[in-house]
């Protein structure tokens, strides 16, 4: 099939990367984990590397990553705009080889969209967007999330048996890295939540102390006064506490030891 432009993007040829050994791939994935700021950044790098490894001068591969969030499929990363558009297209239909691979937990290869009888409505539109073959390989994230690598080619039989094996091996190695990124992200979010909670607790304690001194009352009474003001004014307790401190100290920015 002659490569051509479509509304999903370009299926022009791109050079294939020099094959890398398993140890080199693992090292590259480790570097990606260290370089990525978040999960989406890592998955984008993963899509770009996957596309580059499989593309050849006469067969450019576009790679996207779809993740299931709250039971909805979402295109979260891609090697290029064409891959993102194609992932969104399939997610809009709610079915297709990529979503089937994700749900079944195993790779799905459609060598020629013109002869495939499954997912007919979606495949008809995908062909109009210049796609002739699709390879979908799920990432085993061990319950951390659900994700699948979606690879698109503008040629029929665009993926050889070796390509399928390569992507499956790559996805297996990548999955452990994705799990690590997810856990790092979760730890980072937990740390931020803890820091925020400690900041709020410190400001509230400062306000309670100020109310105790001003009203010569117990800690419990001071806390009730603060809580009553929060409920009456429909303002968060931390914000009421901050306003109390500002009224006494005149400081507009309340700094705690937990501020970064």
Phi, psi of 117 (to 5 degrees): -100, -15
Domain boundaries, the chain: 5-187, 191-249
Beta bridge partners of 108: 136
pTM: 0.59
pLDDT digits over 138-196, tens only? 887 655 557 888 999 999 999 999 889 888 887 877 766 666 545 544 444 444 444 45
Q: Which two tokens stand for residue 244?
A: 């109390």
Confidence grade of residue 34 (pLDDT, cut at 50, 70, 90): very low
Question: CATH assignment of 191-249?
Answer: 1.10.10.10
Percent of the chain topping pLDDT 90: 26
Task: State the pLDDT at residue 3.
Answer: 35
What top-level class would CATH report for the domain 5-187? alpha beta
Tens of pLDDT, residues 129-141: 999 999 999 887 6
Q: What is the mean pLDDT of the chain?
A: 75
Q: Which two tokens stand for residue 149?
A: 């690598």
Please, which residues have CB within 8 angstroms of residue 74's CB and are 6 or more apart in sequence?
Answer: 66, 67, 68, 91
The rounded percent of the chain whose pLDDT value lies above 70 is 67
């Amino acid at each position: 099939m002659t490569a051509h432009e479509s509304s999903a993007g370009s299926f022009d040829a791109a050079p294939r990367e020099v094959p890398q050994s398993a140890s080199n791939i693992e090292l590259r994935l480790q570097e990606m984990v260290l370089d990525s700021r978040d999960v989406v950044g890592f998955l984008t790098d993963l899509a770009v590397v996957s596309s580059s490894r499989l593309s050849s001068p006469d067969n450019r591969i576009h790679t996207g990553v779809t993740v299931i969030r709250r039971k909805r499929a979402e295109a979260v990363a891609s090697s290029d705009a064409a891959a993102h558009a194609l992932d969104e297209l399939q997610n809009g239909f709610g079915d297709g080889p990529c979503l089937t691979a994700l749900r079944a937990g195993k790779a799905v290869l459609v060598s020629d969209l013109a002869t495939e009888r499954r997912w007919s409505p979606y495949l008809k539109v995908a062909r109009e967007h210049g796609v002739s073959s699709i390879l979908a390989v799920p990432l085993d994230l061990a319950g951390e999330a659900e994700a699948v690598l979606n690879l698109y080619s503008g040629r029929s039989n665009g993926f050889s048996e070796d390509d399928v094996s390569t992507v499956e091996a790559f996805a297996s190695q990548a999955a452990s890295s994705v799990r690590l990124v997810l856990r790092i992200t979760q730890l980072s979010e937990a740390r931020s939540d803890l820091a925020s909670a400690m900041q709020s607790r410190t400001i509230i304690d400062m306000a309670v102390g100020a109310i105790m001194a001003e009203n010569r009352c117990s800690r419990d009474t001071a806390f009730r006064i603060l809580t009553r003001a929060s409920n009456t004014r429909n303002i968060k307790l931390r914000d009421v506490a901050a306003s109390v401190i500002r009224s006494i100290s005149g400081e507009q920015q309340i700094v705690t030891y937990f501020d970064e």
